[in-house]
Structure 1
Amino acid sequence: MPHEQTERIVEINGIELHVMEAGRSDGEPILLLHGFPEFWWAWRNQISALAEVGFRVIAPDLRGYRQSSALPGWKNYTVEKLVSDVVELAAALRVGRFNLVGLDWGGIIAWTLAARHPVLVHRLVVLNAPHLDIVQTVLKERPTQILKSSYIGFFSAPIAA
């Protein structure tokens, strides 16, 4: 049986983040960070399952995706700003420590958040994103990975957007 999901807009850091929530308001919080070029819907199957076992599930559209604010210029999308968005979102939703799951680009944000704000993260799960300490090594040892990731640069070109 699917669990009821609610959506809202949360204003933080001068932007609006669209957030999908499910589960008990007093449940253990778990934040789900999607990858590129997805949005909260990437977690649609996991949201209900996690809510059913008692979690308070929070799945935002990250900055620049789907129904969240999209600002011009790459400087509005640094890892620092994206991490700050998640930290401020948790604060706005009155979430103390939380479980954090990140996929792909959301995984990079999750690794960085856990490294810079370890007291906020209870448990960390990262899918399809290397640990920050080995990213440079992987790129040096496997230069083909740079080519495989070059599609991200394509989407930052004004004509593609």
Structure 2
Amino acid sequence: MSEIQHQQVAVNGIDLSLYIAGPERGRPVWLLHGFPECWHSWREQIPALAAAGYRVFVPEMRGYGQTSAPPDIADYDLLTLCADIQRAMDLFGHRDVVMVGHDWGAVVAWHLALLEPVRITSLVTMSVPYAGRAKRPVVEIMRQLYADRFNYILYFQESGVAERELGADIERTLRLFMQDEDVFLQQKPVTATLLEGVVLPRKLPDWCSPQDLAVYVKTLAAGGFRGPLNWYRNFERNWQRTEFLAGKQVQQPTLFLIGDRDPVGVLEAHTLKRMPEVVPNLQQAVLENCGHWIQNEQGQKVNALLLGFLGTALSRSLRTQPNTLETPRSE
């Protein structure tokens, strides 16, 4: 981890914080984190990819850590989040990219693959599947399904409410998320709060040391939860702005990973079933005894699947002609 470099680059109207590792001539691999995570959630994948000859780019996504956190909800719509990464790829001169995403990072990665069918040549997504543009906004569907009981997506919609609860004790919030994934599936009244009735476990999970947790806490403390939660407040805007993608398939060779204990598998069962229709060049793997934080919980298995997939999906050697033109300043 000592060989990771940090850069701050100006793209798409924000300052984007980036962690970079691996040989400069290596094929670019972008690792996009989810909620409520940070670049450090890829701590096991970064050295493995770098050792295999890849040039690894790990952003702190918009609203997180040292990356800018604009105040307006509309500044976090999906196409804007994609544009952050697209403009950064432009800046570095990337022409042949592997895109990897987990959770909300997977949502961005799916759409980047649709927007960039030429220069994104391979795709790996984790935990959040994709089956095309919905017939109506997700939040509209949620309001119908959860009119009389709690749903975390609906709870996140009102500005200021969830950020006050989650930000009151950031370490406690993160520990609860890491160790009690069913917090998002709780059956309780519609008037409840997310963490209401959740008991804090006595110890951290095996995959997260106190030092790791400290990095997460520092990241979320930098800008709070408003920016990350604003990602959830754009479902209707996302649906409106992505109409031009309706009917398009993800054509790139794609690997999808999910844990058998991931609550997303319950929430997105229909999407999982339909995914091969929209992603024709798809490989899938379900990791046993694994929850939502897949790249940490079973880092070695994820690395083996990731590197094995890339070894067969890419059409040329890992170390060929340079495909980056790195000019941004180093910190």
Q: When the two structures are superposed, what TM-score results if normalisation uses the length of structure 1? A: 0.86
- C-alpha root-mean-square deviation of aligned residues, in Å? 2.4
2:8 is the counterpart of 1:9? yes
Aligned-partner Cα distance in 2 for 1:48–1:67: 22
Aligned counterpart, 1:30: 29
1:80 aligns to what? 79
* 1:157 counterpart = 2:188: no
TM-score, normalisation: structure 2 = 0.44
For residue 130 of structure 1, report the CA deviation from its aligned partner. Answer: 1.9
SS of the counterpart of 2:99?
strand
* 1:5 shift after superposition: 0.5
In 1, Cα distance between equivalents of 2:27 and 2:57: 11
Judge conservation of contact 1:111–1:132 (CA < 8 Å) in 2: no
| Whole-angstrom CA distance in 2 between matches of 1:134 and 1:80 | 14
Correspondence 1:19 to 2:18: yes
Q: Do the aligned partners of 2:94 and 2:119 also contact (CA within 8 Å) in 1?
A: no
Alpha-carbon distance between aligned partners in 2 of 1:33 and 1:15, rounded to the nearest angstrom: 17
Sort the Cα spacing of 1:61 and 1:152 in 2 relative to 1 into closer, same or farther, 3 A.
farther
Rounded to whole Å, the distance in 2 between the matches of 1:46 and 1:108 is: 19
Q: Secondary structure at the match of 1:75?
A: helix
Q: d(CA) in 2 for partners of 1:3 and 1:49?
A: 14
- The alpha carbon displacement at 1:147 in A equals 1.9
Q: What is the CA-CA distance between 1:149 and the residue it aligns to?
A: 3.7
Q: Which has the higher helix share?
A: 2
Corresponding position of 1:52 = 51
Query: Which whole-Å deviations, capped at 9, do the CAs of 1:53-112 have from their partners, x for residues lacking one?
Result: 100000000111111000011110000100111100111122112000010101110111
- Which of structure 1's runs of 4+ aligned residues deviate more than 4 A? 134-137
Q: 5+ residue gaps in structure 1?
A: none
Q: Deviations over 1:21-62 (max 9, x none)?
A: 000010011000000121111101110111011000000001
> Is the partner of 1:153 in helix, strand or coil?
coil
Amino acid paired to 1:157: G
Higher strand share: 1
Contact 1:108–1:132 (Cα < 8 Å) also in 2: no
Change (3 A) 1:17 1:132: farther
Of all paired residues, the percent bearing the same amino acid is 35
Amino acid of the structure 1 residue aligned with 2:117: P
The structure that has the greater radius of gyration is 2
Return the letter of the residue paired with 1:75. A
CA distance in 2, matches of 1:63, 1:55: 24
Looking at structure 2, the residues matched to 76 and 99 of structure 1 have their Cα atoms a distance apart, in angstroms, of 26
Alignment of 1:86-97 (within 5 A): 86-97=85-96
1:109 aligned partner = 108
Aligned residues: 156
Identify unmatched segments of 5+ residues in structure 2.
165-225, 227-331
Matched residue of 2:5: which SS?
strand
The verdict on how the C-alpha distance between 1:59 and 1:152 changes in structure 2, with shifts beyond 3 A counting, is: farther
1:126 partner SS: strand
